[in-house]
Chain A
Amino acid sequence: MRAVASVGVRAGVRADLRAGASEAARSPHALDRETCGGATSASATTASATSASATTAPATDRQRRGATDAALAVRLDGIAKRFGRELVLRDLRLEMAAGKIAVLKGSNGAGKTTLLRVLATRLRPTRGRGWVFGYELQRQGDEVRRRIGLVSALGGNYPVLTARENLRLAATLSGLENADLDGALAGVGLTDVADTLVRTYSSGMKKRLGLARLLLLDPPLWLMDEPYAALDENGKALLDDVLAAARGRDRTVVMASHELERSARFADAVLELAGGSLRRSGP
């Protein structure tokens, strides 16, 4: 609980949260206050420090919950996802303040991609509720999608469109009329092949194009599924720069990665998915 509060990321199942927690910390409001303390703003830190006064504050439960949800980039409350008989995610609880970077680790099939797809509103949880910047995943999907961007393991590109056309499509559908397509392409080193069909690209180039789309749209929450996969050393260095820039601009990042040594350098928290459960394993 101590380390969690200091970085603004907390994860676990119900049992984990209860272990060692005071009676007050078990109440939703106490959890929220502590998480607020993990946020980067000074006011949020003050809120944590004055938890006693917060208990007696005149605000209603709903007001406090609303304010907390808005301050949190991600909040999962008992999320479970079942595919057929297999329970891939079970009772996930996560609270993550805005501006933090969390790395998801876990073996193949642990549920990292499933969790990212739940956050991206592509999968409906079997149980539980989740919020992104205070907007509920299941009920306010349109609002959630305004605030997220996904770099998927497959790239997410149209093979018979050019890189520029792929980015233009993304910008148009995101309501960005005057988006800097050339700048985004230059940022990932694809200027020379901007007007070449994506089906001629290598896997690494497709991954770079996915990154370019993320940089172009620049949403507050970045969801990244194995972003280092398929990239060469230059590409990985480029991604390092992108993540460093994300931290500098208070972007929130949830990244599933097997390249722990590399990705953990940017992480405020490393979360491990095992047996469908989420627990914090570092740093």
Chain B
Amino acid sequence: MSGLGAGLAADVAADVAADVAAVVTIARKDLLQEVRSRAVTVATLFFSAVTLVMMAFAMGQDAELLRRSAPGVLWVALAFAGVITAAQSYQSDLEEGAFDQLLLYPVPRASVFLGKLLANWLFLLALGLLMTPVTLVLYGAPAGPSAWLLPVTLMLGTLGFAVVATFYAALTANLQAREALLPVLMFPVVVPVLLGAVRSSEALIGLQNTVLAGGWLQLLAAFDLVYFVACTAVFHLVVEE
């Protein structure tokens, strides 16, 4: 019996390893495509920069207002960049039927979702890590002693956002009005994540209150977990027409 159990465990381990390898392969493919085409990189960098600068100009020279609005502006820019990222991640696949082909390989549909999610998340996280110091400087917001938690906020915030965006982008990928429908459908769902991310960033940047930030981070992690499990579980229903 123990031999049978060990054999079963080895089979399960092999299956999990194959699924993880598939996830990494799909994510690497998506990132390689982006490195070559730079379509999303150029669009999101330009859009984020314009958002940060325009909002800073709009708020004038009120230093306190600028400092307090920094977390919100940062996440608004990241959220809209995230919509572009998720929509494009499917768009390039759909052009020549490559997404159909991807779904025909003998890998679980969840692996396809997680691969695309991993690529979108890494891209958004990199964008967030680039934009955060720029925002802090542009808006004159000081990074206090608890600033080390900012990357954690970025990781959890962009993960939750990427989960919802990747899922809804798949849902709308084949629709004619996908550009309009994607934000309309996903933003009501992703509000808790954005709220948690903004509040946590605010606690770290403006209030410099680590305890308050920790509370929001726990809430953010909980939302991430719920969305991650739910979207991964039902992704197969979304891609089967």
Contact = CB atoms under 8 A, between A and B. Distances in A.
Interface string A122-146: 1110000000000000000110011
Contacts of A120: 100, 104
A156 B97 contact: yes
Interface string A145-166: 1101110111111111100010
Contacts of A157: 96, 98, 101
Nearest to B22: A173
Nearest to B237: A124
Interface in B92-122: 92-93, 95-98, 100-108
Contacts of A149: 104
Given A159-B96, A206-B96, A145 B33 contact: no
Contacts of B106: 142, 145-146, 173-175
Contact of A160 (B36, B100, B101, B240): B36
A121 B240 contact: yes
Contacts of B97: 152-156
Nearest to A123: B241
A120 B106 CA distance: 11
Nearest to B111: A173
Contacts of A145: 104-106
Contacts, number: 87
Most chain A C-beta atoms within 10 Å of own C-beta, residue among B18, B21, B103:
B103
Interface residues of B, number: 28
A44 interface: no
Nearest to B37: A160
Contact of A175 (B18, B100, B241): B18
B123 to A, nearest CB: 15
B31 to A, nearest CB: 12
Contact of A173 (B33, B92, B105, B241): B105
Contacts of B236: 141
B29 A156 contact: no
Nearest to A150: B104
B149 to A, nearest CB: 37
Contacts of A165: 29, 32
B37 to A, nearest CB: 5
A50 interface: no
A142 B106 CA distance: 6
A146 B107 CA distance: 9
Interface in B1-43: 18, 21-22, 25-26, 29, 32-33, 36-37
Contacts of B18: 175
Nearest to A223: B104
Interface string A256-283: 0000000000000000000000000000
Nearest to B101: A156
A25 interface: no
B115 to A, nearest CB: 9
Interface string A107-129: 00000000001001111100000
Interface string B30-62: 001100110000000000000000000000000
Given A120-B104, A156-B98, A172 B36 contact: no
Contact of B29 (A153, A154, A158, A174): A158
Interface in A90-107: none
Contacts of A159: 92, 95-96, 98
A142 B101 CA distance: 14
Contacts of B92: 158-160
Contact of A158 (B25, B33, B107, B240): B33
Interface string A170-212: 1011110000000000000000000001100000001000000
A169 interface: yes
Q: Which among B33, B97, B102, B104 has the greatest number of chain A C-beta atoms within 10 A?
A: B104
A197 B96 CA distance: 14
Contacts of A154: 96-97, 100
B231 to A, nearest CB: 19
Interface of A: 117, 120-124, 141-142, 145-146, 148-150, 152-161, 165, 169-170, 172-175, 197-198, 206, 213
19 contacts: A117-B100, A117-B241, A121-B104, A122-B241, A141-B236, A150-B104, A154-B96, A156-B96, A158-B92, A158-B98, A159-B96, A160-B36, A173-B26, A173-B102, A173-B106, A173-B107, A174-B105, A206-B96, A213-B101
Given A156-B97, A160-B37, 5 more contacts: A153-B97, A158-B93, A165-B29, A172-B25, A206-B96
